[in-house]
């Protein structure tokens, strides 16, 4: 990834999936730019960016189009162009990540869709102009898009829409040499995941029932991101690539899985 410049959105702390991706890209020679959501996260993102010799392009809240414009303008003035983009952003009201999907409120449905789905499209509208030599973009999804997971609720519906938008974006932007893919990560204990009901149980279930008999780390997701963001995957677009210890191929609880 030597000579490639990428913008990473969704870094909150050193447990973030965005951090695993950033570290791996940097190890492979990429130059990185970051954004933060609000002043509270600025204090966390700045030292992490510094650790990797990266730029901080300022505050970006995807519900505020002006902040997305400002970040892209800052990238353009500093770098002139962009080679890759990482979208690691999602949100739902915590109170609706427990109980039943059927009880989802219209307000939280709209907000979750806007932040977790539309923001990727909104960012690609802006990034397209900067990816003048082609580029690669990834977003983060979860198996709850494909199958019902307890408590994942509106986020499952949002991730399904996100995966569909990956395919539409791949077609729209493919002619310009811009590739768009998703990484479907297995459950990882992060700030966002802590809002999901019974998350510890979900982690244990994956550990006992995945083919590799373990959960995945942010570093494992990061290494797969290097593949999707670099020319190694130059023949791949519109894909949802699972980094989940193989959990998505399993149809039945393992016979030797303990009761949890
Ligand atoms: P995280 O809490 O570290 O990151 C979530 C990020 O979303 C934060 O940086 C937060 O600032 C950002 N965000 C939320 N609302 C925003 C807004 N309005 N504007 C800008 N940024 C906003 O958690 P994470 O688990 O690393 O999440 C990253 C991505 O990975 C998410 O899309 C998540 O759904 C996905 N994912 C997570 C898991 C998991 O188990 N942790 C599994 C699969 C997919």
Concatenate the DSSP letters of all residues of 151-162 into one string: TTHHHHHHHHHH
CA of 114 to the centre of ligand 1 (A): 14
Name the nearest CA neighbour of 79 among 155, 142, 3.
3
Q: Residues near 85 by Cβ (< 8 Å), separated by ≥ 6?
A: 6, 7, 8, 9, 123, 124, 127, 135, 136, 137, 138
Topology adopted by domain 5-245: Rossmann fold (3.40.50)
CA of 1 to the centre of ligand 1 (A): 24
Which ligand 1 atom is the nearest neighbour of the CA of 41?
Answer: 11
Residues marked active site are found at: 142, 152
- Alpha-carbon distance of 242 to 141, in angstroms, equals 9
Q: Atom 23 (ligand 1): residue with closest C-alpha?
A: 192
Give the pair of three-digit tokens for residue 47. 């030292």
Name the nearest CA neighbour of 141 among 205, 61, 62, 221.
221
Q: Which residues sit with their C-beta closer than 6 Å to ligand 1?
A: 10-12, 16-18, 37, 41, 60-63, 88-91, 115, 140-142, 185, 187-188, 190-193
**Per-residue pLDDT tens listing for the chain (260 residues):** 999 999 999 999 999 999 999 999 999 999 999 999 999 999 999 999 999 999 999 999 999 999 999 999 999 999 999 999 999 999 999 999 999 999 999 999 999 999 999 999 999 999 999 999 999 999 999 999 999 999 999 999 999 999 999 999 999 999 999 999 999 999 999 999 998 888 999 999 999 999 999 999 999 999 999 999 999 999 999 999 999 999 999 999 888 888 87
Give the pair of three-digit tokens for residue 167. 């395919």
Question: Which of 34, 62, 190, 219 is the pocket-test mutation for ligand 1 (most atoms within 8 Å of CB)?
Answer: 190
Q: Is 146 exposed, middle or buried (0-12, 13-18, 19+ CB in 10 A)?
A: middle
Which ligand 1 atom is the nearest neighbour of the CA of 18?
Answer: 26
- Alpha-carbon distance of 178 to 137, in angstroms, equals 8
- Alpha-carbon distance of 48 to 19, in angstroms, equals 8
Q: Residues near 83 by Cβ (< 8 Å), separated by ≥ 6?
A: 4, 5, 6, 30, 131, 133, 135, 136
**ipTM exceeding 0.90?**
yes
CA of 88 to the centre of ligand 1 (A): 5
Which ligand 1 atom is the nearest neighbour of the CA of 38?
Answer: 11
Q: Residues near 168 by Cβ (< 8 Å), separated by ≥ 6?
A: none
Which sequence spans correspond to the domains of the chain? 5-245
């Amino acid at each position: 990834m030597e000579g490639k410049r990428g913008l990473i959105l969704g870094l909150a702390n050193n447990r973030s999936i965005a951090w695993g991706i950033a570290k791996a890209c940097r190890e492979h020679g990429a130059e990185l730019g970051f954004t933060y959501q609000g002043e509270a996260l600025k204090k966390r993102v700045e030292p992490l960016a510094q650790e990797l010799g990266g730029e901080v392009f300022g505050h970006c809240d995807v519900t505020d189009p002006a902040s997305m414009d400002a970040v892209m303008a800052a990238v353009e003035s500093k770098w002139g162009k962009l080679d890759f983009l990482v979208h690691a952003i999602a949100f739902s009201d915590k109170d609706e990540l427990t109980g039943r999907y059927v009880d989802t409120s219209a307000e939280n449905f709209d907000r979750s869709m806007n932040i977790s789905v539309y923001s990727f499209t909104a960012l690609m509208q802006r990034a397209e102009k900067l990816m003048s030599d082609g580029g690669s973009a990834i977003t983060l999804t979860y198996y709850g898009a494909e199958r019902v997971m307890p408590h994942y609720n509106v986020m499952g519906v949002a991730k399904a829409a996100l995966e569909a938008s990956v395919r539409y974006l791949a077609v729209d932007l493919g002619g310009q040499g811009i590739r768009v893919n998703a990484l479907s990560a297995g459950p990882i204990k992060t700030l966002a995941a802590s809002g999901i009901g019974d998350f510890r149980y979900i982690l244990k279930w994956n550990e006992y029932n995945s083919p590799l008999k373990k959960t995945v780390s942010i570093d494992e997701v990061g290494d797969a991101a290097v593949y999707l963001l670099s020319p190694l995957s130059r023949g791949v677009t519109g894909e949802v690539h699972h980094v989940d210890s193989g959990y998505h191929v399993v149809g039945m609880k393992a016979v030797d899985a303990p009761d949890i």
